[in-house]
Amino acid sequence: MSTLSALAQKKIAPLVNNIGPDIGGLQLTAKSTLKRLKAGETLYLEGDTAPYCYQVISGIVKEFNTLSDGRRQVIEFYNADDIFGISELHSQLHTAEGVTDCLLRCFDRNALVHEIASSPQLSQRFLDMLMLRLHRVRERLVMLGRMSSVQRVAAFLVRLSKEQATTQHIIVMVSRQEIADHLGLTIETVCRAITELKKRGLISMASKRDFSIPEINLLDDIAHGEHGVH
How many CB atoms are closer than 10 A to CB 225? Answer: 14
Long-range CB pairs of 19-24 (<8 Å, 24+ gap) are: 21/55, 21/105, 21/107, 23/55, 23/83, 23/122, 23/125, 23/126, 23/129, 24/125, 24/129
Q: Residue from 57, 170, 183, 193 that binds its own copies (CB under 8 A)?
A: 183
Shortest gap between Cβ of 131 and its own copies (angstroms)? 4
Q: Residue from 8, 163, 175, 200 that binds DNA (CB under 7 A)?
A: 175
Shortest gap between Cβ of 205 and DNA (angstroms)? 6
Shortest gap between Cβ of 27 and its own copies (angstroms)? 19
Q: For the segment 133-152, give every residue that binds DNA (CB under 7 A).
A: 148-150
Q: For the segment 131-150, give every residue that binds its own copies (CB under 8 A).
A: 131, 133-135, 137-138, 140-142, 144-146
Judged by CB under 7 A, does residue 208 bind DNA? Answer: yes
Q: Residue from 5, 186, 224, 225 that binds DNA (CB under 7 A)?
A: 186
107 contacts 30 by C-beta, under 8 angstroms = yes
Q: Which does 32 bind (CB under 5 to 8 A by kind): its own copies, DNA, none?
A: none
Distance in angstroms between the alpha carbons of the first and the last residue of the chain: 17
Q: For the segment 52-71, give every residue that binds its own copies (CB under 8 A).
A: 65, 67-69, 71
Report the 3 state secondary structure along 5-60. Answer: HHHHCCCCCCCCCCCCCEECCEECCCCEEEEEECCCCEEECCCCECCEEEEEEECC
Residues that bind its own copies (CB under 8 A): 1-4, 7, 46-47, 65, 67-69, 71-73, 75, 87, 89, 91-94, 116-118, 120, 123-124, 126-127, 130-131, 133-135, 137-138, 140-142, 144-146, 183-184, 224-226
